[in-house]
Amino acid sequence: MKVYLIKASAGSSYSEYKAETGGPPQNIFSTAAATPRGVEIEMTDETIGMKTDFRSGADVVAVFMSTPDALRAYEIADRFREKGKTVVLGGLHTMFCPDEAQVHADALLLGEAEGVWEALLADVTAGTLRPRYKRTTPADLSRLRPYPTDIIPPSRYNWTWSVAVGRGCSNKCGFCLVHKFFDTCRFRPVDQVVEEVSRLKKLGVEWVELHADNLTVNRKYALELFRALAPLKMKLYGETTILIARDEELLEAAANAGVKALLFGIETPSGAALAGQGKAFVRPEKVRDYIAVVKKYGIEVWGDFLVGFDEHDVSIFRETLNFIRTIRATRTFEHLVIPFPGSETFKALEREGRIITRDWSKYDGAHVVYQPLSMTKEELEEGVWWLWKKSQGKFGALIYSLFSKEAWRG
Ligand code: SF4
């Protein structure tokens, strides 16, 4: 049997942002890792400009999608089905819009792939394919195999690679899907992560993303992991919360391990908006000092920002710009709020009849897709562009150039 794993990309700003802030996409690589031995694997990651091969000889085509890439994924799925292929859809958007996805697929892979992907392939062989496959229990991360490096090699990701470290988050921020997708917060055994990073170093990988939705949420684990990684002297980065700044022992261990950058969701200078999203643990008045502490350990701070919450009126753009200029993050990424289907934010907007469009390609952080509460749609659009323009001058904000490709057009 041969399977073809495709990460669909509509070339949106969001996809580029994800590609820029992470290594290889988790969905196709974790599914490749879970594929039974003896099954041939072909892979395409459209986020890095690879072209989908519609002449593939694969028996099963599995297409993975985030919301902004959904329409592109359906296009790919439909074309392969016309050719008589068995088509599977997976990824975040499939999980939260299964009825919509089902129209374009023979089967859906819902949630974590491990265990059910293997069952799905066995059913294809037996001719007993079911429409939906979903785990009933969280995957055991100690049973994960490393992402393959011989199908799409690390050179395609500028020698940056991703190692699965953890899944899930104990927080429940309203706009976020992590706690909806993963029932529990789990981590992989430290020795397995260390072994994989060591192997990647021998392969010539320069940067390793310690991939976890919240890398340091389990302090004991994070400390153990950082200490075990230190002898390898690799360049590492990951994503956690700004609260790490309150724990200098952990920060020192991270720095000694080789952590060079951490991505934090700082989101907004509006305490009311943070509280509205269940993220009041980010205290705007503390962020500047926290960032200074992190940078003291030689760790770059990448800050993620969102505009367009209900608590935001037209004053938020200047307020955010002033805040960004004050806190001295190394890089900042500013987006519009994306109400991903499945999130509490989407549910609330839908209840209130404020979703303007279900053209998923617009759910990319560069288009307004809902009626804002405290300003007009036009004010939100113009405001975010003003913010991008201003923040780029001061900080060379990477995301500005990424977004500009898409949004200046629209
Ligand atoms: S802390 Fe981050 S990963 Fe966790 S729920 Fe909030 S936004 Fe999501």
Concatenating the DSSP letter of every residue in 149-196 gives: SSSS-GGGGTTEEEEE-EE--S---TT--HHHH-SS-EE--HHHHHHH
Collapsing DSSP states into helix, strand and coil, what is residue 384?
Answer: helix
Contact indicator for 102, 108 with CB cutoff of 8 Å: yes
Instruction: Please give the single-letter amino acid code of residue 284.
Output: P
Please report, in angstroms and rounded to a whole number, the separation of the first and last CA atoms in the chain.
Answer: 43
Q: Superfamily for 2-134?
A: Response regulator (3.40.50.2300)
**CATH number for the domain formed by residue range(s) 153-407:** 3.80.30.20
Pocket test for ligand 1, best of 214, 343, 345 (most atoms within 8 A of CB): 214
Collapsing DSSP states into helix, strand and coil, what is residue 22?
Answer: coil
Within this chain, domains 2-134 and 153-407 share the same CATH topology: no
Q: Domain segments of the chain: what residues?
A: 2-134, 153-407
Which residues does a 6 A CB cutoff place in the pocket of ligand 1? 169, 171-173, 176, 178-179, 213-214, 241, 265, 279
Give the DSSP H or E segment for 2: strand 2-7
Look up residue 1 and give its two tokens.
């049997």
Give the DSSP H or E segment for 236: strand 235-240
Of the candidates 332, 406, 393, 358, which has an alpha carbon nearest to the alpha carbon of residue 10? 406
Q: What is the dihedral of CA 308, 309, 312, 318, to 10 degrees?
A: -50
Ligand 1 center from residue 173 Cα (angstroms):
6
- Report the 10 Å Cβ neighbour count for 40: 13
Collapsing DSSP states into helix, strand and coil, what is residue 292?
Answer: helix
How much is the pLDDT for 394? Answer: 36
Ligand 1 center from residue 144 Cα (angstroms):
23
How much is the pLDDT for 278? Answer: 95
Dmax of the chain from CA atoms?
A: 61
Give the phi and the psi of residue 38 in degrees, each rounded to 5: 95, -15
Tell the residue number behind the tokens 């055991």, with chain if given: 140
pLDDT in tens, the chain (410 residues): 999 999 999 876 655 665 565 579 999 999 999 999 999 999 999 999 999 999 999 999 999 999 999 999 999 999 999 999 999 999 999 999 999 999 999 999 999 999 999 999 999 999 999 999 999 999 999 999 999 999 999 999 999 999 999 999 999 999 999 999 998 999 999 999 999 999 999 999 999 999 999 999 999 999 999 999 999 999 999 999 999 999 999 999 999 999 999 999 999 999 999 999 999 999 999 999 999 999 999 999 999 999 999 999 999 999 999 999 999 999 888 889 999 999 999 999 999 999 999 999 999 888 999 999 999 999 999 999 899 888 864 333 444 433 333 332 22
